[in-house]
Amino acid sequence: MDLKIAVLAGDGIGPEISEQGVAVMTAVCEKFGHQVTYQYAICGADAIDKVGDPFPEDTFKACMEADAVLFSAVGDPKFDNDPTAKVRPEQGLLAMRKKLGLYANVRPVETFECLIHKSPLKDELVRGADFICIRELTGGMYFGEKYQDDEKAYDTNFYSRAEIERILRVGYAYAQRRRKHLTVVDKANVLASSRLWRQVAKEMATEYPDVQTDFMYVDNAAMRMIQDPRFFDVMVTENTFGDILTDEGSCISGSMGLLPSASTGEHTPVFEPIHGSWPQAKGLNIANPLAQILSVAMLFEYFNLEAEGKLIREAVNASLDANVRTPEIQVEGGAKYGTKEVGAWIVDYIKKK
């Protein structure tokens, strides 16, 4: 298979983990006889500094011409600490999602047996947790009408029936392939937008009689994820709720550095780790590359290259079992490995298989 990949490393630790993701992808393609070419493009704070736009037209063109995008992270403290800034790195991420029509964000949450102890939750609660959060990605407050002055501000949480239906169909498709349980998360007791979500979901549930559909307020869902994460199979929710809940979900696995994601929709799909740019760690060779590497596994699986994705997951699990880990998940007294060393170990494992 021929693959053309747009690589958007972005800011902070992005370039470091991106390098490892590309190395793993190259090794897998060589092993399975695929031809892969990379088109590198700028985004985020890096792009603002260079051209004044966090998602410039050349980057958009590279994404549209690619089969998939391997994205890393955007964000920089100099923008976070300036509430008056008119252009921000995160605007580039939102622009990418909107211009590529990436309305479905798929974030798996699962545990690794050898890292159960790293979760802040009790072993008996998190062991065996395995669910997917489907987050609507191009609607809601992130894209609704906005206003701000010195005295007031608002963000409009707008959703249409069509937007809700299409993301629910993604959720049902995943539920049918898994344990046939879909939880729709909303705040229908307070928000009009959530009441439309629930109305549409109840109507659609009759189309999927093989799937158990239930409904949960977002505050209850946040509590249930901590009390009983194994309850969930597929969770589908709106943009803001999904952003918050999936970060909470990272605690279940023990590190945000372990969780990949895929964003799919109308045009080129994007594969990325769920964590941010962690600018404080930039250049220190301590960032965990596993979420980026597992995003590569999701990329292969998107194109039905299951054996390729399986090998990457096997290599990641082998690295964890061998205690080849970056500092935040290393066992006490374990050897020191950095971003580059973990990536190189996984590449070597793949080449030897």
Q: Are 60 and 27 in contact (CB under 8 A)?
A: no
Catalytic residue of the set 80, 214, 219, 228: 219
Q: Are residues 229 and 352 in the same domain?
A: no
What is the reported pLDDT for 128? 87
User: Which residues of the chain are modeled with pLDDT < 70?
Assistant: 82-83
Q: Are residues 95 and 112 in the same domain?
A: no
Q: Is residue 210 among the annotated active site residues?
A: no
Q: Are residues 324 and 222 in the same domain?
A: no
What's phi and psi for 128, nearest 5 deg?
90, -5
118 half-sphere exposure, CB direction, 13 A CA radius:
21
Q: Is residue 219 among the annotated active site residues?
A: yes
Query: What's the burial of 59, exposed, middle or buried (CB within 10 Å: 0-12/13-18/19+)?
Result: buried
Q: Are residues 51 and 73 in the same domain?
A: yes
What amino acid is encoded at 97 in this protein?
R
Q: Where does a domain end: 248, 265, 282? A: 265
Q: Are residues 51 and 138 in the same domain?
A: no
Q: Are 32 and 305 in contact (CB under 8 A)?
A: yes
What is the reported pLDDT for 9? 96
Q: Are residues 255 and 279 in the same domain?
A: no
Eight-state DSSP code of residue 343: H
Q: Are 131 and 336 in contact (CB under 8 A)?
A: no
What is the reported pLDDT for 185? 97
Q: Are residues 299 and 250 in the same domain?
A: no
Catalytic residue of the set 46, 187, 337, 349: 187
Taking the C-alpha atoms of residue 70 and residue 32, their distance in angstroms, rounded to an integer, is: 19
List, for residues 57-100, the tens digit of each pLDDT value.
999 999 999 999 999 999 888 887 766 778 888 899 989 999 99
Catalytic residue of the set 46, 53, 142, 174: 142
Q: What's the structural domain count of the chain? A: 2
What is the reported pLDDT for 324? 94
Catalytic residue of the set 11, 46, 186, 243: 243
Catalytic residue of the set 180, 217, 247, 340: 247
What is the reported pLDDT for 79? 85
Q: Are residues 136 and 246 in the same domain?
A: yes
Q: Where does a domain end: 265, 292, 321? A: 265
Give every CB contact of residue 92 below 8 A, 6+ residues apart in sequence: 43, 44, 47, 48, 53, 54, 55, 74
Q: Is residue 142 among the annotated active site residues?
A: yes
User: What is the domain-level CATH number for residue 92?
Assistant: 3.40.718.10
Q: Where does a domain end: 265, 290, 317? A: 265
Q: Are 330 and 337 in contact (CB under 8 A)?
A: yes
pTM above 0.85, yes or no: yes
Q: Are residues 148 and 252 in the same domain?
A: yes
Measured between alpha carbons, how far apart are the two ends of the chain, in Å?
20
Q: Are residues 222 and 88 in the same domain?
A: no
**Segments forming the whole domain that contains residue 32:** 1-100+268-353
Taking the C-alpha atoms of residue 174 and residue 196, their distance in angstroms, rounded to an integer, is: 22
